[in-house]
Structure 1
Amino acid sequence: MNRTKEPIRPIVVAVLAALVLAGCSNGSSSDSSSPANGSPTAPAGAGAAQPGGANQLQSDYQRVIGDVLPSVVQITTASGLGSGIVYDDRGDIVTNAHVVGTATTFTVTLAGSTKPLDAALVASYPESDLAVIRLGSPPDGLKPASFGDSTKVELGQITLAMGSPLGLSSSVTQGIVSATGRTVSEPGSPGSPGAVIGNMVQTSAAINPGNSGGALVNLDSQVIGINTLAATEPQSNGAAAPGIGFAIPASTVTSIADQLIKDGKVTNSGRAALGITARTYFDQNFRPAGAVVVAVAPDGPAASAGLQVGDVITRIGDTAVDSLNSLTTALASLAPGSKVTVAYNRDGQSRTAEVTLGTLETP
């Protein structure tokens, strides 16, 4: 399934999957038997009592849902809806930038409630697809979520995805951590130009339109990521690819959210940069063949390593670069301060430079 706000714009990530944002649903559903009154949708396997370990696992699921679901909200804009996570007891809620889009005011519905609450935009950072909104009158008993340590997320960990898929508020699905460290390119949307995000968590928990901004949770009742993307089959006109979803890691969420709340903007992106402006370079056959440098920041990483305007970057470390997008994707998987070999062409000759990456500056 894909977002209802805009048509599918397939993109390529990792190997075979194309992705669409799991952003906003119009709140409609053809399944008249699905609960939409705020009661949790039980994860698969949480039905009749099972013997032994299955009984314990069911108890663990129910405990985590009881702990975290009260912190997951539904966010409604003029053009659709998404999900969010209560960040603190002052009424700050973190969500995806593509959920808020260009809106500045919102209606928020807490888990287990039907009373709409007014909220306003604090700030948005589309480069990492994150935003913070704030309740105008936070109610008593507001429950902030607990965010976990992204470095401790491991392959095979059980995950629960919580949010409002297709407008079904307080829904829960279950799966595992399928992979970590994915670098994902998102499609653009109003208010979000299409971020390239590194270190994302891949999960098999079902993520559908309306889930964006919701919580991906471990069995310690900690949020380990914000649900953001679901995959589609590239060859099937956008049909869903079941069991492939992506979440922005908790470390990125807390770093960006803290800055948006404190300063109203991001002053430290935590993203690696070369300190250049570039565009896609096309060869004599009009095929993309690299990223040509059009400006170099004085005293920046590239300048310090000797790169110049007109150089055509063809590789970052072990990653081939044939376009500006592939250069951006390669950098998204790296950390500021790391050293990397940059291969480039200058005046028809192949060269390399050792570059210590800087931090991407924010507007």
Structure 2
Amino acid sequence: MEIPVLDDASPSVPRFPGRVRRLLLPLSAGACALALATGCSGADPAAAPAAKATPSGTAQGSVTRDTADLEGAYQAVINDVLPSVVQIDASDSLGSGIVYDDKGHIVTNAHVIGDEKSFKVTVATGEAVLDATLVSSYPEQDLAVIKLDEVPDALKPAKFGDAEKVEVGQIVMAMGSPLGLSSSVTQGIVSALGRTVSESRSGGGTGATIANMVQTSAAINPGNSGGALVNLRSEVIGIPTLAATDPQMGDSAAPGIGFAIPVSMVRTVADQIIKDGKVTDSGRAALNITGRTVVDDSYRPAGVALVSVDRGGAADEAGLRAGDIVTKIGDSEVTTVTSLSEALAGDKPGDKVTVTYTRGGDSRTAEVTLGEI
């Protein structure tokens, strides 16, 4: 289930050399089903007990008080948010989800639910395992919404934050069911923003190219997919989706490098699915073509050949046709279908881009007004 990472397009940031893997836990892997009940109620971070001062009045007392304050803040967030994070059993795999509203809607990753239509959901508030059914899946952004058949009175929707206020260095916690250990919490920081990451379609992957992902050092493992990345204000700021692996270490996990779908995209997709039963406005740009990767004489990827061009679509309106080979979008080199998706990931429908392509061995350019996926 390894999939290549495509880093952001900033020339000052080197491309990430590793891989990423989906955080889905196959049940066939012998997942542990240990449930950890929280048994806690909400708490005020400011009410955390102050540590006793040392007799000498040295700085040690201040450090201890600071530590107690931070621990209190962590515990308050955990008590507040964990009841909104669920474990999802999708027949042959385990993942996580977030209670989205008081109607029983739960948002998760599309790769968690796969092709399943019904699920078993375990909530942290102690109810029996609940049944849920699929509302809709949107693999293009690796998001999905399911709905509980019966909504327990104690069900607690999560509070969602503002993506514009997420900053590098903020303390965050990842909550979910890593390795089948439900109601687990790890902590770290937001270590980068604006990452563009692509999944392959192998091993149940959606093939999605996801822009503006939040990179975090909080430990995330198989089973964390679909869970919550939370700030110290008890706000969900992302959904943990992918973790990096290190090819130089036999593709073992690369500690402290995980990626979460930003809360802005989560809300955009979930709101449309809940309202209309599907995504009606993706907000994602496209050339409106079907393409395949081509190789040069040295068998290296060299561009994307247009297999077909949608009539009336963006590429068609700009004069591109089947057989053309796209090699650049703006200043971004295009060598594969994945790199084409990456080059378009930061654009919006209606944006104008310069497409460089070859036709009959001649290099040409065209200004294309982008369409929508």
Partners of 2:148 and 2:325 lie apart in 1 by 48
Note the C-alpha offset of 1:25: 4.9
Larger radius of gyration: 2
1:185-204 pair list within 5 angstroms? 185-188=198-201, 192-204=205-217
Counterpart of 2:2, as a letter, is R
Partners of 2:301 and 2:121 lie apart in 1 by 45
**Preserved CA contact (<8 Å) 1:97 1:130:** yes
Determine helix, strand or coil for the equivalent of 2:179: helix
Partners of 1:12 and 1:335 lie apart in 2 by 22
Runs of at least 5 residues in structure 2 that lack an aligned partner in the other structure: 8-15, 41-47, 52-62
Note the C-alpha offset of 1:184: 0.7
C-alpha deviations, 1:29-73, integer Å up to 9, x for none? 78xxx97432399xxxx9x96524333222221221122111101
Partners of 2:103 and 2:135 lie apart in 1 by 12
Partners of 1:234 and 1:38 lie apart in 2 by 37
**Preserved CA contact (<8 Å) 2:173 2:185:** yes
**Preserved CA contact (<8 Å) 2:304 2:334:** yes
Q: Structure 1 residues 302 and 120 mapped into 2: Cα distance closer, same or farther (>3 Å)?
A: same
**Preserved CA contact (<8 Å) 2:22 2:243:** yes
**1:37 aligned residue:** 36
1:343 aligns with one of 328, 352, 356? 356
**1:11 aligned residue:** 4
**1:178 aligned residue:** 191
1:269-284 pair list within 5 angstroms? 269-284=282-297
C-alpha deviations, 1:150-178, integer Å up to 9, x for none? 22221111111110111111111111111
Determine helix, strand or coil for the equivalent of 2:2: coil
Note the C-alpha offset of 1:122: 1.2
**2:93 aligned residue:** 80
Partners of 1:193 and 1:214 lie apart in 2 by 17
Count matched residues: 345
1:222 aligns with one of 235, 238, 255? 235
**1:3 aligned residue:** none
Q: Structure 1 residues 137 and 216 mapped into 2: Cα distance closer, same or farther (>3 Å)?
A: same
**2:273 aligned residue:** 260
97-106 or 204-213: bigger deviation: 97-106
1:62-101 pair list within 5 angstroms? 62-101=75-114
227-236 or 302-311: bigger deviation: 302-311
Partners of 2:259 and 2:210 lie apart in 1 by 10
Q: Percent identity at matched positions?
A: 60
Partners of 2:66 and 2:208 lie apart in 1 by 41
Partners of 1:308 and 1:101 lie apart in 2 by 34
Partners of 1:187 and 1:291 lie apart in 2 by 17
310-319 or 284-293: bigger deviation: 284-293
Determine helix, strand or coil for the equivalent of 1:235: helix
**1:352 aligned residue:** 365
C-alpha deviations, 1:319-341, integer Å up to 9, x for none? 11112221122212322232222
Note the C-alpha offset of 1:94: 0.5
Counterpart of 1:13, as a letter, is L
Note the C-alpha offset of 1:105: 1.3
Partners of 2:277 and 2:294 lie apart in 1 by 36
TM-score, scaled relative to structure 1: 0.88
**Preserved CA contact (<8 Å) 2:110 2:206:** no
TM-score, scaled relative to structure 2: 0.86
Note the C-alpha offset of 1:114: 5.6
1:124 aligns with one of 113, 131, 137? 137
2:248 aligns with one of 235, 240, 253? 235
Q: Structure 1 residues 240 and 96 mapped into 2: Cα distance closer, same or farther (>3 Å)?
A: same
Partners of 2:282 and 2:297 lie apart in 1 by 37
Partners of 2:203 and 2:317 lie apart in 1 by 37
327-336 or 194-203: bigger deviation: 327-336
Q: Structure 1 residues 228 and 275 mapped into 2: Cα distance closer, same or farther (>3 Å)?
A: same
Runs of at least 5 residues in structure 1 that lack an aligned partner in the other structure: 1-7
Partners of 2:39 and 2:177 lie apart in 1 by 10
